[in-house]
Chains A and B, each alone.
Chain A
Amino acid sequence: MKKKWMSFTRYLLLSVYLVFALFPLVWIFLTSIKPPMEVYSFPVKYLPSKPTFQNYHRLFSYAHFGKYFKNSLTVAGISALASTVMASLAGYALARFKNRWVLPIILFLFFAQMIPAYLVMIPQYVMFSKFGMLDKLSSVILIYSGIGSAFSTIMARGFIARIPVELEEAAMIDGCTRLCSLFKVTFPLVLPGLSAVFSFSFVNSWNEIFIASLFLNSDNKMTVPVALYSFISKAGVNWGFLSAGLVVALLPTIIVFAFAQRYIVEGLTKGAMKY
């Protein structure tokens, strides 16, 4: 009897939390497909009487959201790729070599990854303005790959350290060079881990707003968060329209997370230090 009661309470609480977790996104989606009259009604009208995609249509036709989406994809994609490539090389070296530089470099990266991005954006802005590199997607790509790579390296090192070194040594005895054993043995085995590193930096770059709004000013350079920001800074928020923008902005990270969650969690719980 007591046991039954316990498991009932358990499922009840789990269901309550499920609703709590999902409700905000469900609500923003419902808002995005409501006709304007029903967005602004109180008492609230819960379901749209006639679902419409006009907000999405406006988003991509008048507001050039496709352009911002492409910018974000470019920035997050390239910077995540760059930082993953750098991190897997460095992570490999720091996992496999034992010399007097290993510990100092790990400590250096550990402290560097603790410095939050927004804290260094002004000096970065001043530096980049000297090179005439403001309002350029490439500057933001460079900055994102740089600030993410310290943590990515620590995470990649954790994954690589868990691959038995004997596998590589066996390949090297068989006549493989270090580079060859790296690409033929280690990297294929650690690929799920590296895809977690990639996803993690992709999500972080996709979500970053402060550096992006400081650096990217012209309309055709804006990334998705900067565009969302511009929607609210203009007088009066159109919530139906903004909701559509939010749905489109959130979708990519939800998809990435759905695929990579398992490995990201593994990377964070075993041998990584941030988040």
Chain B
Amino acid sequence: MRKPRRSARFFLYAILPVVAVVSFLVVYPTIRGVIMSFQNYNLYNLRNVHFVGFENYKSVYTDSRFYEDLWNTVLWIAGSVSLQFILGFILALLMWKPFKGRGIYAGLVFYPWALSGFAIGLVWSWLMNGTFGVINDILMRLHLIEYPIHFLSDPKWAMWSVILINVWYGIPFFAIMILAALQSVPSSVVEAAMIDGASSARRLFQIIIPYIKPTILSTLLLRVIWVMNFPDIIYGTTRGGPAGATEILSVYMINVVFYENDYSKAATVGVTILAILITYTLVYIKTTSYEELEL
């Protein structure tokens, strides 16, 4: 029936464009970035680009800024992902049983997910404004605080404030994923547990959570990478400030590009992020089984 030669040619033509653009625009630049991290590539001195060995790495890794940013990254990921997950889980449970208008409700609460993180950062910097911000106004009217809080310009508050914004942004993602998983739990499984007379808390922890555990695990692990590489909200609010309090590694790299023009240094930070990414991914693939990736 089929002509194998023509089939092979069809396969080649169909995959070629994607493989070509991805190689040219993602893979090659990645390799090029690794090379640049071993050169002195400064925008102001392009005539004299040469290899400098591990100089860039030495200067990045001996700077305390790197370790502060690494710690900030850990805080940012741990705070954002855990809260996004817990609140997203609760939201999914609340939405599990059908109610009138659930579809509309889903549309109204899930929308932040499609929005620009940068724009959301700007929106929230207005809400959290230390002088005219509505959040301060509400807290003061409720007599919870006496003086306005400078959420984004006080180093004590800044990291928690950007995490709060990221939680607002990320709850829908977890809720969507977990809700979809919950809806795939066969009703027979739930009913059997009901006949057993299990309390609803026990049903949840002993039957339902184990059932959707693979989804939870892969969603959590993948979200960690995504949040680590999500500088948009911080860029819309603090750009890493005040005094580096919210500078995570990705923001560090972007700040070096935009304000220091030192491309080698930026590439060095980039390669470091990439190394973390690859290590993490390999561990991830080992922890979750191969079939779950649906390859």
Interface of A with B (CB < 8 Å)? 10-11, 13-14, 17-18, 20-22, 24-25, 27-28, 31, 39-44, 86-87, 89-90, 92-94, 97, 99, 101, 103, 105-112, 114-116, 118-124, 126-127, 142-143, 145-147, 149-150, 153, 158, 172-173, 178-179, 203, 206-207, 209-210, 213-214, 225, 228-229, 232, 239, 242-243, 246, 249-250, 253-254, 256-258, 261, 265, 268-269, 271, 273-275
Contacts and interface: CB of A to CB of B under 8 A. Distances in A.
Contact of B177 (A92, A261, A269): A269
A141 B31 CA distance: 22
Contact of A89 (B17, B24, B114): B17
Contacts of A126: 32, 36, 41, 263
B29 A21 contact: no
Given A24-B123, A122-B270, A209-B235, A93 B15 contact: yes
Given A42-B132, A119-B274, A87 B177 contact: no
19 contacts: A10-B94, A20-B168, A24-B123, A42-B132, A43-B140, A89-B14, A89-B18, A90-B14, A93-B14, A93-B15, A116-B250, A118-B250, A120-B25, A122-B257, A123-B30, A149-B22, A172-B1, A178-B2, A213-B258
A273 B177 contact: no
Given A43-B141, A261-B110, A25 B123 contact: yes
Interface of B: 1-2, 6-8, 10-11, 13-15, 17-19, 21-22, 24-30, 32-33, 36, 41, 90-91, 94-95, 99, 105-120, 122-124, 126-127, 129, 131-134, 137, 140-141, 148, 168, 171-173, 176-177, 180-181, 222, 225-226, 229, 231-232, 235, 250, 253-254, 257-258, 263, 266-267, 270, 273-274, 277, 281, 293-295
Contact of B119 (A105, A119, A153, A228): A228
Contacts of B293: 110, 273
A261 B120 CA distance: 19
Contact of B122 (A89, A122, A246): A246
Given A94-B15, A209-B116, A265 B176 contact: yes
- From B14, B27, B36, name the one whose CB has the most chain A CB atoms within 10 angstroms: B14
B263 to A, nearest CB: 5
A179 B126 CA distance: 53
Given A93-B10, A99-B11, A115-B30, A105 B19 contact: yes
A13 B110 CA distance: 15
Given A99-B11, A123-B33, A207-B115, A107 B105 contact: no
* Candidate in A90, A107, A254 with the most chain B CB atoms within 10 angstroms: A90
Contacts of A150: 18, 22, 26
Contacts of B131: 42
Nearest to B235: A209
A24 to B, nearest CB: 5
B294 A108 contact: no
Given A28-B126, A105-B19, A257 B111 contact: yes
Contacts of A142: 21, 25
B204 to A, nearest CB: 13
A261 B107 contact: yes
Contact of A122 (B17, B105, B124, B267): B267
Given A142-B25, A146-B25, A209 B134 contact: no
A101 to B, nearest CB: 7
A39 B132 contact: yes
Contacts of A99: 8, 11
A186 to B, nearest CB: 12
A118 B133 CA distance: 31
Contacts of B106: 261
Contacts of B118: 207, 209, 225, 228-229
B115 A119 contact: no
B114 A105 contact: no
Contacts of B267: 122-123
A116 B6 CA distance: 36
A126 B263 CA distance: 10
